[in-house]
Amino acid sequence: MPEALLADFLAFTLAGEAPAVTAGEAAVGVQWRWLGAGLLALAPAALADDAPRIVLSAGVHGDETAPVELLNVLAQDIAAGKAALQAHLLIVLGNVAAMQAGCRYLDDDLNRLFGGVHLSVPNSTEAGRAAELEACVARFFEAGPGARWHLDLHTAIRPSVFERFALLPQREAAYGADVFAWLGAFGIEAVLMHRTGSATFSHYCSHAHGALACTLELGKVMPFGQNDLSRFAAAASGLRRLIAGAAPADGTTPPRCFDVVGQLDKRSDAFKLLIGDDVANFTPYAQGTPIARDGEQVWTVQHAEERIVFPNAKVKVGLRAGLLVAELPVV
């Protein structure tokens, strides 16, 4: 049973199985612990408690399959000794029920339920999972004093001017050059700097646990088995360097940085995108361009140029229907 779990954690998880034995040591001296559906901790047997603690998550949106496959291959390679590990690693396959159903979520977007927001929707299928993930990462991070990381891997629904981009949660302290070097090493072309809090998984790990946390958008959604993982090669090799305790590769291009300058909040069913429903992420618009309308409220471009990210008029009333971002000057 443990062999099946380590050989194909994704298949094991999708089958809804629970192992008879929940912890052990793989052939190469890597200790593993199964912590619940889609939750697998890995660490070298002799690793110090103060080694880095890294959470890698994927499938928080159940239909975003490529990063899930990427983490599955990573877990296989660690267990087989083909990928070096010098960290306490927690692999999280986020919304297992939605992954099994082949959809983004069942009742509520899991990535809008963290930081306790799940308490406000107790009957939602996703509420229990959000609570379980919060408890699991809390135990994982609090088990030692090492540097804390959380990288939440996603793929976008729509095409993007920048194929790979990252969202950094709002926090008091500025992000250091090392963060941008790592994002460049993951193949990230653009970074969004959030200026307000949100109920995402990465924001929760940043605020509740002081983790260096980031949401990575690595390409476009495809069904399981139809992903070209070579398009995710930069992210995969960057993650392997990170968990191996190496430095980011030299010679990578640092990402362009964008500030979130506006948020399109859907307040009623009258909400309408005035730029059409199928524009690419990061499409630029000039000052004065009307972007969206909700009854009397109209959002227009305030800066010389702003770009639209995650436009989606179909979200539930009360949720974010898009972000407007402006490029930050290079420092």
Catalytic residue set: 217
Task: Please name every residue paired with 217 in a beta bridge, in sequence order, or none if there are none.
Answer: 154, 165
Minimum separation from the CB atom of position 94 to Zn ion (A): 9
CB 89 within 8 A of CB 31: no
Between 68 and 264, CB nearer to Zn ion: 68
H-helix segments, 34-124? 65-79, 96-101
Minimum separation from the CB atom of position 60 to Zn ion (A): 6
Between 82 and 316, CB nearer to Zn ion: 316
Between 53 and 118, CB nearer to Zn ion: 118
Q: 121-157 burial, b if ≥16 CB within 10 A, otherwise e? A: eeebbbbebbbbbbebbeebbeebebebbbbbbbbbb
Q: Which stretch binds Zn ion (CB under 5 A): 143-151, 153-161, 203-211, 220-228?
A: 153-161
Number of other CB atoms surrounding residue 241 within 10 Å: 16
Minimum separation from the CB atom of position 143 to Zn ion (A): 28
d(CA 58, CA 40) in angstroms, rounded, equals 12
Minimum separation from the CB atom of position 309 to Zn ion (A): 12
Between 65 and 72, CB nearer to Zn ion: 65
Contact set for Zn ion, span 222-261 (CB under 5 A):
none
- Contacts with 228 (C-beta within 8 Å, 6 or more apart), sequence order: none
Between 66 and 85, CB nearer to Zn ion: 66
Q: Which stretch binds Zn ion (CB under 5 A): 38-46, 154-162, 205-213, 275-283?
A: 154-162
Between 154 and 207, CB nearer to Zn ion: 154
Minimum separation from the CB atom of position 324 to Zn ion (A): 19
- Contacts with 38 (C-beta within 8 Å, 6 or more apart), sequence order: 13, 59, 92, 93, 94, 96, 99
Between 2 and 38, CB nearer to Zn ion: 38
DSSP secondary structure string, 265-287? E--STT-EETT-S-PPBTEEEET
Contact set for Zn ion, span 45-74 (CB under 5 A):
61, 64
What does the chain come to in residues?
331
Instruction: Choose which of 53, 88, 112, 154 interacts with Zn ion (CB under 5 A).
Output: 154
Minimum separation from the CB atom of position 4 to Zn ion (A): 28
Residue nearest to Zn ion (CB): 154
Distance from the Cα of residue 329 to its chain's centroid: 26
- Contacts with 16 (C-beta within 8 Å, 6 or more apart), sequence order: 37, 96, 100
Task: Please name every residue paired with 258 in a beta bridge, in sequence order, or none if there are none.
Answer: 192, 327
CB 166 within 8 A of CB 215: yes
# residues near Zn ion by CB under 5 A = 3
Interface with Zn ion includes 266 (CB under 5 A)? no
d(CA 141, CA 135) in angstroms, rounded, equals 10
The first and second tokens of residue 115, run together, are 């930081």
Binding residues for Zn ion, rule: CB under 5 A, are: 61, 64, 154
